[in-house]
Amino acid sequence: MFLEFPWALAALVALPITVVIYLLRNRSKKQVVSALFLWSSPNLSANQGQRIQKVQSGWLLFLELLILTLLALAAADVHVRWLRLDAPTVLILDDSWSMQTSKKQATNAIQKWVSQKRIVFPVQVVRVGKTATRNGEPCSYQTDLTARLDQWSSIGMKSPECDDSTLKDAIDRFCSPGKPVHAVIVTDHPRPDLAQDGKVTVLSVGNPDSNLAFTSVVRYPSADNGQDVVIVEIANLSTKDQTIKCQLRVESQPSQTLDSILIPAGESSEIKTSVPSVKTAALELPKDALEIDNRVVLPPLPRQTIRVRLDVTNPVLAPAVKKAIELAQDGQRKIELVSSNEDLLVTDNPAPGADSSVNRLQFDVPSQPLDKIEPTIYKGPYIANSSSSLMTGTDFSGVLWGIEKSDWRMESAEFALLSVGDVPLIVQRTNSNGVNSVRLRLVPELSNLIQSPNFPIFIYNVLKQQAAALPGLQSSYVSAGEFFVFHSRQNESAPLEIQSPDGEKDVVSFRLGQAVFQPYDIGAYKITSKGKTYQASVNALNRNESDLRGLKSGEWGAQFSAAQKDSQFVSLRVPLLLLALALAVVHQFLARRDN
């Protein structure tokens, strides 16, 4: 038993005061007489008689003393140990990949605690990575728990992270007030802040170690036709400098060793190489404490063809737009000029309504000769919407921007990408079908925009945004914890078939022309859509999770002993208040009866 607010017991000073009041409250002695006419006045003096007398209403005094005691104990918030015969233990397992170095120690420690009855059945297993997941029904027997731990150590521990906030969410979810449970967190990092005496115990089984890890990777088309550039970042997460030899394995080609590099302790270094654009490439580091981050797989990049219909009639604007479109092509993105069935319409003709089904880049140019319009030329300062990908890499300082003075207005649901003061120059809208429409106000003859680098950069950004929405896989490789995104034509009905690295297959349906799924396993995937198979991969790239130097073993939080069995401290505040209220009712009844 313990008191949450022991200072509240000072209220017990009211007990002797109440007793004194009962002893001194009346100095007259009560007498029963036949009539009061012998006295001159019925209002007798209360200052006569004995100063101290015996208590006349003993039951009332006892009840008042008991009520005051109960109220004082309720204010102090008395907690007592409450025996629970069927309350489970919640076993919260750190599912991050750094636990792979400590999985044997973790399972042995859990089994030891079970034999010592520090973990009491039934046991609810919860695995925590980026989110907390209940791992099946509670285990009632040790054999069930052993099988669950074997499954965890063999196929689990692949989450890119498990931080304190996620573990706190798991505690709040499965050990919330009113749920008679005790939680045991099994991890490899010191987390004393999560421990709560009598409720949450933290068991850390980690041991510090050195580790080499891939922490970043990128593959992009090079200027050489048929080749891609691969850049990887390698971190030396140890206490001493290391010389690294990295292996490059290209599909259907012999393995080769890349040039050695010296990486100082705690630092990172990059390796750059080239691979055939149509081949899957893999880079490997020597084996060390943690193997999951020693290999990255990079399938070929998705090769996309953007069908563009060019319908620009302005004699100054038309050649500039065509040249910018040609410059936007690279080894990953091909642009095909078509006259119909386009993915993107680039035009200077009036735009249709919001129900257009084609992505559009609209140039709003004057329809009349220059001598018949009233132009305005702006020199800035320009305000760009930096959150939009269409503005990436642009800087309009020094640009002269001419527009026609007119009643031009932003349409419904449009927002400004670039403006000068309160005058919008570039606006964008996405309708309910996911179709993008971008409008740009311009008088080409009075502007130097099309001669500046900003114009081809802007056109490139528009085409890049369009490519991201083309049917097919958006990216062939992602980091653990990220999502694969697969786009389709409108009204696509056939679901995707996903084959994970262990050979298991799953299906993902399209919604609004897009299928999104989060892979769990690290390695190579196959994604099939309408008979066409795409290669994809998930790589373990997380410097914090790969850093094993901060691992530590220890225990935090008071544990329940075998003698205490499965019990917890519960507050008696509410029961004490209810009992005091009941006694107050009885007191009132007795007082009225005596009167």
Over residues 89-136, the pLDDT tens digits come to 899 999 998 998 888 899 999 999 888 878 888 898 999 988 888 888
Listed residue (542, 483, 540) closest to 514, CA to CA: 483
With contact defined as beta carbons under 8 Å apart, do 475 and 484 qualify?
yes
With contact defined as beta carbons under 8 Å apart, do 205 and 109 qualify?
yes
Query: Any residues with CB less than 8 A from the CB of 50 and at least 6 apart, and which?
Result: 27, 29
Name the maximum alpha-carbon separation found in the chain: 131
User: What is the chain's length?
Assistant: 595
With contact defined as beta carbons under 8 Å apart, do 377 and 400 qualify?
yes
Task: Report pLDDT for 530.
Answer: 85
pTM above 0.75, yes or no: no
* pLDDT-derived band at 466, boundaries 50, 70, 90: confident
Q: Is 20 exposed, middle or buried (0-12, 13-18, 19+ CB in 10 A)?
A: exposed
Helix axes 142-155, 103-115, angle to 10 degrees: 170
**How far is the C-alpha of 186 from the C-alpha of 95, rounded, in Å?**
9
Please check whether the two domains, 85-208+550-565 and 304-468, share a CATH topology: yes
* pLDDT-derived band at 565, boundaries 50, 70, 90: very low
Q: Which helix (H) or strand (E) segment is 425 a member of?
A: strand 423-430
**Which position has the higher pLDDT, 159 or 324?**
324
Over residues 147-163, the pLDDT tens digits come to 999 888 877 677 888 88
With contact defined as beta carbons under 8 Å apart, do 521 and 500 qualify?
yes
> How many Cβ atoms from other residues are within 10 Å of residue 332's Cβ?
16
Measured in whole angstroms, the distance separating CA 134 from the mean position of its chain's CA atoms is: 17
Helices of type H across 373-453: none
Task: Report pLDDT for 562.
Answer: 41
With contact defined as beta carbons under 8 Å apart, do 477 and 217 qualify?
yes
With contact defined as beta carbons under 8 Å apart, do 488 and 513 qualify?
yes
Helix axes 573-594, 58-76, angle to 10 degrees: 160
Domain boundaries, the chain: 2-82+573-594, 85-208+550-565, 304-468
What mean pLDDT is predicted for residues 368-390?
Answer: 90
What mean pLDDT is predicted for residues 451-468?
Answer: 91
What mean pLDDT is predicted for residues 565-582?
Answer: 77
* φ/ψ bin of 253: left (φ > 0), alpha (ψ from -120 to 50), beta (otherwise): beta
Task: Report pLDDT for 6.
Answer: 84
Any idea which architecture 85-208+550-565 has in CATH? 3-Layer(aba) Sandwich (3.40)
Q: Is 437 helix (H, G, I), strand (E, B) or coil?
A: strand
> How many Cβ atoms from other residues are within 10 Å of residue 568's Cβ?
17
Mean per-residue pLDDT over the chain, rounded? 85
Q: Is 388 exposed, middle or buried (0-12, 13-18, 19+ CB in 10 A)?
A: middle
Find where tokens 């680039």 sit. Answer: 346
One-letter identity of residue 467: A
Over residues 221-240, the pLDDT tens digits come to 886 778 899 999 999 999 99
Task: Report pLDDT for 491.
Answer: 61
Over residues 504-563, the pLDDT tens digits come to 999 998 887 788 998 888 999 999 988 889 999 999 999 999 999 999 999 998 655 443
- Confirm or reject CATH 3.40.50.880 for domain 304-468, answering yes or no: yes
> How many Cβ atoms from other residues are within 10 Å of residue 32's Cβ?
4
Over residues 344-360, the pLDDT tens digits come to 999 998 765 444 678 89
Pairing of strands 304-311, 333-337: parallel
Task: Inform me whether the pLDDT recorded for 42 exceeds 60.
Answer: no
Q: Is the peptide bond before 42 cis (omega within 30 degrees of 0)?
A: no
* pLDDT-derived band at 413, boundaries 50, 70, 90: confident
Listed residue (107, 140, 108, 111) closest to 123, CA to CA: 140
